[in-house]
Structure 1
């Protein structure tokens, strides 16, 4: 049984995506507001190392902020779903500026070490989650449209670009201007960009706590974690995060062990470049298979690529081979990550999507922290080449969860017929 389409759908692609009504109104301020996200942790590292002289302590304080961000930011996403993105974002950017200012003061005033960790918690927890909010706006505009995969790919490329530009800018400011300049810029850009993004209220998803004409809520308030598929996707994203974190540490240890630390940036850049290329391709393809099938096909390939990288590292210090396999791993990451974000639109009610997207991005951050820790321990205790086992281990465990609970990734029985978003309406079969 199908519902008639109101217009003939065009081929999904970036051109059609960017012609979506109202898209540019949130894309431009959203692009500005998300840049500081990748500046926070590296800016903390550089400031704390300057004031304490310890990279180990600086990394621990930065990790505290990162874990706090990953665990507590989904609550902000939940509030955004209930009360609206602007209602949460406006006070949030001011609160973040205050907490970052407190962290700077604590670091520069040589406060006790416990104070550094205590200040890092609210600084990380209050970091505005712009990327999930942008993804939620795409989902609201493109409900059930084939362009959702294109939007997810577009956002993944944008996020990857952010993590290329942000750390470079933060490092330049901290080393060339003042050790606190990175955090000052991070808070300032979040404030300006966040307010500009929040001002675009017309494109934000309808809050699920908005009163209806009858005086009640528009619908039941559903937590994203109550959806079984979201919990499975979180596991998948944890594995992807371990790839990012594990490669950062293992490549650093490997290049230092062979006496060419300068190769680290080039080799990680090859991995990131492969990720970006694959993301662009995934968004340009008009897929005939559903996202669940694509994820269950692409994730095993990612595991094989990560395992191949780990095996090659044990065979010898061959930088060219590891660089090539790192690029291959990057090519395999993007299809998995994009498909996870695409599945949110299928599995999660509209009133809980910002929270769901925040949980997924938080899972990447948690996985990154875990991957860094595991790879670092392996590199220190066993050898530099052993750090490459962390991505293989993380993705292997995540694949086991995906295969065990794969039914949770299917659309709920009964299906639905829904509006397909502004300007992109297509017929949907009710299962």
Structure 2
């Protein structure tokens, strides 16, 4: 897969430009909590960023499908760097909460959707190839590697250098990586204005029932990310070791990354829809025990277990998009899923922040359980919508394995 012509030209800058998703929320939480002394206020500001990201990400994907990735990405990263600068300045100046929330909106809305854009490039290059399933797993591993590096880096900078250093580094990586990624025109997938099939150009990804179901599933995964970020931060503060926050979150993300590597290496014989249901059930069960951990060792072990359960669901969800959505709307579909993660993360940060302020970190760990449980119920009730269109086609069953399937 990595020998695919042009792959490295978009993978390396794309990795740097993905850091906002891993560093932004934790950077805001640490900065605002430092300047206000309240996890609740930090959660509100972070939630505003996440909601804005969730609402604007699909529109960014739709524009990229229609006008090309470069046309959307260049102004986006410039706006994001400016918005982060304003938010940091206001926070350090002791601005009121409403001003921070207002500044958080353009900060979240301008987060570049590089992950979906990379996935769209893989889909264009590997269309019809068994390597597409491997690419989906590789992208999940890459995403989770950013969640290993990003929170640890942001926490180290905020606690060891300056409370605003994490956000400043995030904006710098976004700007540099985003512009380098946008410069790779040769690997950019064809966009709507270049396509000859006008009827396919106007297909909306959200009109596909399966995409809406997958969005709910990834929204639940977002509650795990958001709930863990706030609750781990509060837990390490409670035990008098705030610097351990990055380590614990890194263990959680490392579990996710390791599971992603395993998923990419396995030749699956289980259908994707069934894999998603099994993986999501395991994730919900694992999240149910987080609130009971009262030591770093136990919490680290449970965090690792939760991380191991996330990757199979994420990978399968993104893989299902290839069979459910036409190519002309695929970037939009990926951004709906990414936006759902951001929305779930935003809601979880806000709720967990308030619960933590009132009852401590134990209450905050209940948020991932609630979010995944509700999403699992939805998945079980609407699992039939994850079936692809009723026509003969070829789908990937695992790395190096393909099988023709006719859906009646």
Q: TM-score, normalised by structure 1?
A: 0.83
Q: TM-score, normalised by structure 2?
A: 0.87
Tell me which of 338, 342, 345 is aligned to 1:368.
345
Instruction: Kindly indicate whether the alpha-carbon contact (under 8 Å) linking 1:245 and 1:372 is maintained by their aligned counterparts in 2.
Output: yes
Q: CA deviation at 1:191?
A: 2.2
Correspondence for 1:403: 380
Q: CA deviation at 1:52?
A: 5.3
Deviation string, structure 1 residues 80-120 (Cα, Å, up to 9, x no partner): 01111111112222222333333344445555543332222
Tell me which of 229, 233, 238 is aligned to 1:248.
229
Q: How does 1:3-402 map to 2 (within 5 A)?
A: 17-48=1-32, 56-107=40-91, 111=95, 113-174=97-158, 180-210=164-194, 212=196, 217=198, 219-254=200-235, 264-310=245-291, 313=292, 317=294, 320-379=297-356, 381=358, 384-402=361-379
Q: CA deviation at 1:179?
A: 5.1
Deviation string, structure 1 residues 342-386 (Cα, Å, up to 9, x no partner): 111111111111111111112112222333344444455556434
Bigger shift: residues 36-45 or 168-177: 168-177
Q: CA deviation at 1:392?
A: 2.2
Bigger shift: residues 114-123 or 69-78: 114-123
Q: Secondary structure at the match of 2:5?
A: coil
Instruction: Kindly indicate whether the alpha-carbon contact (under 8 Å) linking 2:40 and 2:350 is maintained by their aligned counterparts in 1.
Output: no
C-alpha distance in 2 between matches for 1:304 and 1:269:
21
Structure 1 residues 197 and 320: alpha-carbon distance in aligned structure 2, compared to 1, 3 A threshold? closer
C-alpha distance in 2 between matches for 1:50 and 1:270:
24
Q: CA deviation at 1:63?
A: 2.5
Q: CA deviation at 1:292?
A: 1.4
Q: Secondary structure at the match of 1:202?
A: coil
Structure 1 residues 116 and 296: alpha-carbon distance in aligned structure 2, compared to 1, 3 A threshold? closer
Q: Secondary structure at the match of 1:203?
A: coil
C-alpha distance in 1 between matches for 2:294 and 2:94:
42
C-alpha distance in 2 between matches for 1:108 and 1:252:
20
C-alpha distance in 2 between matches for 1:193 and 1:232:
32
C-alpha distance in 2 between matches for 1:403 and 1:336:
14
Instruction: Kindly indicate whether the alpha-carbon contact (under 8 Å) linking 1:149 and 1:339 is maintained by their aligned counterparts in 2.
Output: no
Q: Secondary structure at the match of 1:334?
A: helix
Q: Secondary structure at the match of 2:365?
A: helix
Deviation string, structure 1 residues 162-205 (Cα, Å, up to 9, x no partner): 12322343445556665554444333332222121112122222
C-alpha distance in 2 between matches for 1:80 and 1:111:
35
C-alpha distance in 1 between matches for 2:301 and 2:31:
34
Instruction: Kindly indicate whether the alpha-carbon contact (under 8 Å) linking 2:276 and 2:316 is maintained by their aligned counterparts in 1.
Output: yes
Instruction: Kindly indicate whether the alpha-carbon contact (under 8 Å) linking 1:81 and 1:351 is maintained by their aligned counterparts in 2.
Output: yes
Q: Secondary structure at the match of 1:229?
A: helix
Bigger shift: residues 118-127 or 381-390: 381-390
Instruction: Kindly indicate whether the alpha-carbon contact (under 8 Å) linking 1:208 and 1:218 is maintained by their aligned counterparts in 2.
Output: no
C-alpha distance in 1 between matches for 2:157 and 2:242:
23
Correspondence for 1:4: none
RMSD after superposition: 3.0
Gaps of 5+ in 2: none
* Rg larger for: 1
C-alpha distance in 2 between matches for 1:259 and 1:146:
50
Structure 1 residues 166 and 75: alpha-carbon distance in aligned structure 2, compared to 1, 3 A threshold? same
C-alpha distance in 1 between matches for 2:32 and 2:350:
19
Instruction: Kindly indicate whether the alpha-carbon contact (under 8 Å) linking 2:205 and 2:332 is maintained by their aligned counterparts in 1.
Output: yes
